[in-house]
Amino acid sequence: MLVRFLSLIAVGCCVSLVAAGEYNPVKSVGDKAPAWNDLPGVDGKEHSLTDLAAKDVVVVAFTCNTCPYAVDYEQRLKQLGQKYAAADSRVAVVAINCNRTEEDSLDAMKDRAKERNFAFAYLSDLSQESGKQFGATRTPEFFVLNKRREIVYMGALDDSTDVDKAKTNYVQLAIDAALKGELPEKTETIPIGCNIRYKRSRR
């Protein structure tokens, strides 16, 4: 009995160790993506993952107005959104802001989106649940979902925060692979950016 008990403990420990990705504390590649529901967007509408059922690929970017890294990646995110902005595109790009500061309020997000002419859905999540459920820790941090809404890639957009030095766009490679029903060669990288400002819960 003791041996069996210790074996069960060992199995449980192993399960907990492989329950998350190499760099993500919650999700692994292949996991079903969490669904967000009725998040307000800068367009004045409420958005849910189910709204994108017709899309073969969904790119989710956790970002914000204020993080210097997020600002540095803003143009690259904007270009990605523009590439897939057509109504008949098989790909959707969605950005979610989980920060609760005044500078990251929905009104501030609307101003930012208008100023920068964002061509993607930019959503506010004051509950912060979407970020927690995805295991997102940084801004910016990217997730690519396939048609079955499984995570096929998570991490950084590309291989350098300096746009002039970036050579490999991991998100684009993941999109291309997912459109063919495949996994990209690189499925997870370290997200580089500011910490998402999650509200501390009382113990």
Which tens digits make up the pLDDT trace of 49-84?
999 999 999 999 999 999 999 999 999 999 999 999
Which tens digits make up the pLDDT trace of 158-188?
999 999 999 999 999 999 999 999 999 999 9
What's the 3-state SS for the chain? CHHHHHHHHHHHHHHHHHCCCCCCCCCCCCCECCCCCCEEECCCCEECHHHHCCCCEEEEEECCCCCHHHHHHHHHHHHHHHHCCCCCCCEEEEEEECCCCHHHCHHHHHHHHHHHCCCCEEEECCCCHHHHHHCCCEECEEEEECCCCEEEEEECCECCCCCCCCCCEHHHHHHHHHHCCCCCCCCECCCCCEECCCCCCCC
Which tens digits make up the pLDDT trace of 8-42?
333 333 333 345 789 999 999 999 999 999 999 99
Question: Looking at the domain covering 2-195, what would its CATH class be?
Answer: alpha beta
pTM: 0.89
